[in-house]
Structure 1
Amino acid sequence: MSIEETAPTEPPVAVQDGVLRVRVAAPGSGSVLDGHAMDDGARALESLDASVGAILLVGGATNFCGGGDVAAFHAAPERGVFVHQLADRFHRFVRALAAAPVPVVAGVPGWAAGAGMSLVCHTDIAIGGRSTKLRPAYPALGFTPDGGLTWALPRIVGVRRARDILLTDAVLGSDEANRLGLLTRLVGDDVIVSEAERLARTLAAGPTATVRRTKELLLASAGASLDEQLDAETAAITASADSPDGIEGVDAFVEKRRPSFGR
């Protein structure tokens, strides 16, 4: 993993229609991971407020994110120090993304390699197309993975399959990535990003308090027993029943109308 340091021509992080949009690849960089997006994105995620109902990750025009700027590694006088600093910045963003209390959606055209593949693994919904390919890419540089790839990938595809993918630097096409759960939806290549944007806006316009409670349950489930999770679900659904979203949802169902959820 390396981070492109060229200043972007537009802000890499913005909020619109209740969606926090993070462009993870630096423009004009060949889809290199954008350091400004990692820094600004981490700050935005760490201070997320109730007005944000979804997070959208997008990349370059033809590739989601091809990983790091290898030339920057080559030019660094002290490569270990350089990589350590970059990993710290990247991992601050990954930590905040993985803990996000709202759905994380990604539009993944073309390559998601190295850091790009790591980011895909931390989304809730990843939309790809026939052009989409995922690859760890670290072994080709003689590097070990970062971005939580060795943590997230086994949880998605299983331990044995993750070992195969990471140790052999496997290239995964869209069909296989979808079958394994790395991509959750496949659409036409020309609508990957627009579909991800549409879905993020739809989530942000829905019962956001309910979605936040559901995301909280999902995040807690990894370290909870069944008994603990059942207790947490009881508390959450009880709170939901008395919430504005729950009241509106039930009333709308009985009255046979579309619910009008507010934030």
Structure 2
Amino acid sequence: MSLVDYRCSNGIARIRLDDGARGNPIDQAMVDALADAVRQARADDAHVVVLTAAGKAFSVGGDVSAFAAADDPGRLIDDLAESLHRVISELHRMNAVVVSVVAGAAAGAGLALAAAADLVLAGESARFTLAYTKIGLSPDGGSSLLTASLGLHRLLRLALLNPVVSAREARELGLVAQVHPDAELEAAVEEVVGVLRAGSRAAQVAVKRLARETATPAEESALRRETLSIRERAASADGREGVAAFLEKRAPAFPRA
């Protein structure tokens, strides 16, 4: 079974996370398949890339069970974060407008992946949460870059308190561009894609580059710092306890200083 479905027609590439039965977890196999799809979109010279997901969740985030089973969770997460960050960078740099479409949960790295798009469209069922610190980890996937769009204290609230944010609150925060009833989301996406496809690709790409380079001029350094941080946290006692507690469905007992 392919973990990512890719199709391209008339300058529109459609990339769908296709492990909906498991909530589209961000594991190495998923990231590798996603990287292949993004490379194909570049090869097809897509003008618009639409990133969606099958099932009831956009993505539940990292595969926590794999973290627990790893002999060296720090190394596993280091490799995974580096691979995911290459995909995030590619989405940011490609000569296409990227539109993510979120219905259901976008958690952890799933939130970061959705936010890597240039425009985020959400159904009313969408829910966003970072949740890394709940299991003793620090965020990755470009989460720290959201400081530029959300502001420092809004991002710190999301990262430290881990609220579950509704689609409408996410729009108020500046994370989501549009919110629609779930039944109308597909039609709304097609309307946005039509507007983009009819526009000047050169002008749209110029805007994307100007905005991103101004907002996050040190993106690669930030992504590398995220990788180093989450690797350290995954190998720590807090990280191991947080992952174990999550899988055992109990509150973590982090040591107190």
TM-score by length of 1: 0.73
Q: Could you say if the C-alpha distance between residues 33 and 195 of structure 1 is closer, same or farther in structure 2, counting changes exceeding 3 Å?
A: farther
1:114-193 aligned within 5 A? 114-151=108-145, 153-193=146-186
* Aligned pair partner of 1:207 in 192, 200, 213: 200
Q: How does 1:39-78 map to 2 (within 5 A)?
A: 39-43=32-36, 45=38, 48=42, 51-78=45-72
Map of 1:18 onto structure 2: 11
Supply the AA of the counterpart residue of 2:188: E
Give the Å deviation of 1:98. Answer: 1.7
Listed one character per residue, the Cα deviations across residues 110-139 of structure 1 (whole Å, up to 9, x for unaligned) are 111101111222222111122111000112
1:87 matches 2:60: no
Cα shift at 1:8: 2.1
Cα distance change on mapping 1:159 and 1:223 into 2, 3 Å: closer
Report 1:207-246 matches (<5 A). 207-222=200-215
Instruction: Give 3-state SS (helix, strand or coil) of 1:55's partner.
Output: strand
Report which stretch shifted further, 49-58 or 214-223.
214-223
Distance verdict in 2 for CA 1:53–1:37, change over 3 Å: farther
Q: AA paired with 1:68? A: G
Give the deviation of 1:29 after TM superposition: 1.8
Q: Is the 8 A contact 1:53 1:205 kept in 2?
A: no
Q: Residue 128 of structure 1 aligns to a residue in which SS?
A: strand
Q: Secondary structure, in 3 states, of the residue corresponding to 2:26?
A: coil
**Aligned-residue offset at 1:17:** 2.4
Alpha-carbon contact 2:122-2:178 (below 8 Å) kept: yes
Map of 1:38 onto structure 2: 31
Distance 2:168 2:64 in 1: 29
- Counterpart amino acid of 1:91? H
Change (3 A) 1:37 1:31: closer
Equivalent pair of 1:25/1:64 in contact (CA under 8 Å): no
Q: Does 1:96 align with 2:127?
A: no
Larger radius of gyration: 1
Structure 1 unaligned spans of 5+: 1-6, 225-263
How far apart, in 2, do the equivalents of 1:122 and 1:60 lie?
18
Name the SS of the counterpart of 1:203 in structure 2: helix
Q: Does 1:8 align with 2:5?
A: no
Q: Which moved more, 1:204-213 or 1:165-174?
A: 204-213
Segments of 5+ residues of structure 2 without an aligned counterpart are 218-257
- Aligned residue for 1:112? 106
Secondary structure at the counterpart of residue 121 of structure 2: strand
1:64–1:116 Cα contact (<8 Å) kept: yes
Report the TM-score when normalising by structure 2.
0.75
C-alpha RMSD of the superposition: 2.4
> Quick one: structure 1 residues 50 and 60, their matched pair in 2 at CA, closer, same or farther if it must change by over 3 Å?
closer
Specify the SS of the correspondent of 1:161: helix
Structure-2 residue corresponding to 1:244: none
Higher normalized contact order (CA 8 Å, seq sep 6+, divided by chain length): 2
Q: Name the aligned partner's letter for residue 160 of structure 2.
A: L
What is the identity percentage for the equivalent residue pairs of Structure 1 and Structure 2?
Answer: 29
**Which structure carries more helix by proportion?**
2
- Cα drift, residue 183 of structure 1: 1.0
Q: How many residues align?
A: 216
- The separation in 1 between residues aligned to 2:61 and 2:5, in whole angstroms, is 16
SS of corresponding position for 2:22: coil
Could you report, residue by residue, the CA deviation over 1:185-218 in whole angstroms, capped at 9, with x for unpaired residues?
0111123244324423542343223322332332
Cα distance per residue 1:90-116 (max 9 Å; x no partner) = 111011112223211111001111011
Q: Cα deviation per residue 1:13-72 (whole Å; 9 max; x = unaligned)?
A: 332221222223524222212645533443554572574111111113221111011111
